[in-house]
Structure 1
Amino acid sequence: MVTAVALWSLKLMPGQPEAFIIPNDLKVTNIALGEAIVEENGRTSVKMTYTIPGVSNRDDEDKDANGDAGTDPITGTTILCSLTPGKIEQATVNLILDEGIEIQFEAVGRNILYLTGNFVEQTPAHAHRDEDDFSDDDFSDDAYNLEGARSDVENDPDSEELEDDSAYACKLELYPELTSIYSGIQVTAIYSGVQEIEPPPTSKKRPRDIMDSDESKLFNLEKPSNKKLKAINGEAIPTSQKNVDLEAAVKKEKDKEVKAGADKPKLKVETKELAGGVEIMEHKVGSGPQAKNGDTVSVRYIGKLQNGKVFDSNTKGELFKFRLGAGEVIQGWDVGIVGMQTGGERLLTIPATMAYGKKARSGIPANSNLIFEVKVVNITMV
């Protein structure tokens, strides 16, 4: 019986033989062309040269002076398969190579080949004994003498507790090297197709104690420290006094935060309505002289419809300049920007009658109220 235990593969390049000694019993199962075809109409073969060491080729009478028979290796060469692109691109083989054999694989052709297989474990020969191989001693009463043997069912099934854990073990005393302990659970390794799990060792702790200890580890709970705090004079501070001091310190910090928040000036954002229904909201008050009619004002702005869609903007590049009150912009601007200072920011809400009215513009439907975010960058006084 052959059991696969590990995958094996080999890439054969044309003109580059691969020679090695088989480290473990190996079974080659498939040979296929590589992903890149160099010669589409050419045939590539797999040539195998092998050397089997340690095979006796002498009779008993040919033993040397020391009584040992000579051993000469057996060598040979064969072709495992031949592959042609578009016709035969892979071949299934069933080749088992024993450990210790010297092997050389060679791709004879111009295409790359891949060999695939797996390392195997072969059942020992004594596992398949014929009937003739058994002697009468194998069937004698002594061969089946179970006196002193330990049974897994010796204990009374009605008993509340088992005398030992033998019912869960897989005869660990026979295979101690197959036993491993992991995370507190003792598990026997797989042997002859059977896997048994042994229960964890019983604890003398009560279930509640175990649960408490596990929770303490899980949540990293610690017992309160009994170490007493000392005051400046070196005297111990009572526990009750320590709690009071802690609460007082926390309350003091909260009071500071509340007071600091109360001391901060609150910015009142109010909407002011001007002539023609133009509404303004100061976001930031600038500095310097206030803009008046006749001054040249340089601004940045973003224009939006009431649904939030941006139809025009000037946020980079050359500033937008106009003379305030000269009719160079819509009426809402001439009214809404008066009084702004350099660095000031203001939100203008302009009704359609102070904008483009019934006329539709690019991106602006007729009778649209407009919203502008305006920042004054510079004012040139007249």
Structure 2
Amino acid sequence: MFSGFWGLKIVPGKTYTQTVDAAFRVSNASLSEEVANQNRTSVLLTVHQKRFVLCSLTPGKIEQQTLDITLSEGEEITFESSGDNEIHLVGNFIAEDEDDEDDMYGSSGEEDGEDIDFDNITPEELQDLINRGVIDPSDLQLGDDESDEDYDSEDAETDGRIREITEEEEDELVDEAMSEDEEEEKPVVEVKIKQQADKKRKAVKEEVEQPEAPAKLSKKAKQAEKKAKQQAEAAAAASEKPKQNEKPKQNEKPKAKATTLQGGVVVETKTEGAGAPAKKGQRVGMYYIGKLTNGKVFDQNTKGKPFWFRLGAGEVIKGWDTGIIGMKKGEERRLTIPGPMAYGSRGAPPDIPPHATLVFDIRLVEFK
């Protein structure tokens, strides 16, 4: 049963991660009213740390796509797109059926403890009814306890439940049990495995106890071995001596000076740029390589069309808005961005874990 409207606008270059707190269904994907270009844009969904393409839309060819995707409560999901066009997703929230719980045990007439089939109810269902206060445990009567209160040995003998065994019958039962024990044999597979294990242990023992013949070296071989040992010792001693008259390397670039900005963002300028610096509010085009601190690359754009966004407008993570201000055209920087200035506690599954510190090598291509 569907209840209430659900919608999401996916902007290029941004991800939307959440833990589903109310189940919903995605029923349609479409391009926005205005398109950036005529290239294809794909809608991506990450769920259970696996990434899937829901659909691909191309202006003038396929501008909307019917979907039937249901996302359940508690699932970790991320929506994003690949391309330059904005995508709109729509659907409905899914309402829970209030009658589902009643259907487990029958009609609502059971609320007062009536019309409950105790012969077919499971122990778990009975316990649930007790927990909910539908049934009073003191009212339950288990079996025929009342009828058994005055049951004695005479009654048992009469209805055949208990009878006396004679000595002759006892001897017969003992003989049968002994004959069954004598007929029981070890499984053939167990015997074979034991024989193979004993054989293997014997072979290993003989191999260990057999003495090895001592190796005999000729006089010439001994001399060659001694000479090689002396050469190795001399080489080791030479490597331990401090190097003298070593000239410093020429044309070596000085180490970039690191600056820590607001929020803990560390900036290292690798190559100086030229011209006026980029300011907040301007659109900037960037090449970049994004890595985790262990060196794993999770995203990059190093050639072709640069990645464009408006500086300081919140279209990218806070570490970029902070670390790119003041860059000049052609300038290259390395930004080390702590988790709170990146994707925070939610991360960007499956490539970026929660609280991850990110390292970006960036270059300002153009700004306007």
| TM, length-normalised to structure 1 | 0.30
Superposition TM-score, scaled by structure 2 size: 0.32
Is the helix fraction higher in 1 or 2? 2
- Tell me which structure has the larger Cα radius of gyration: 1
Q: Which has the higher strand share?
A: 1
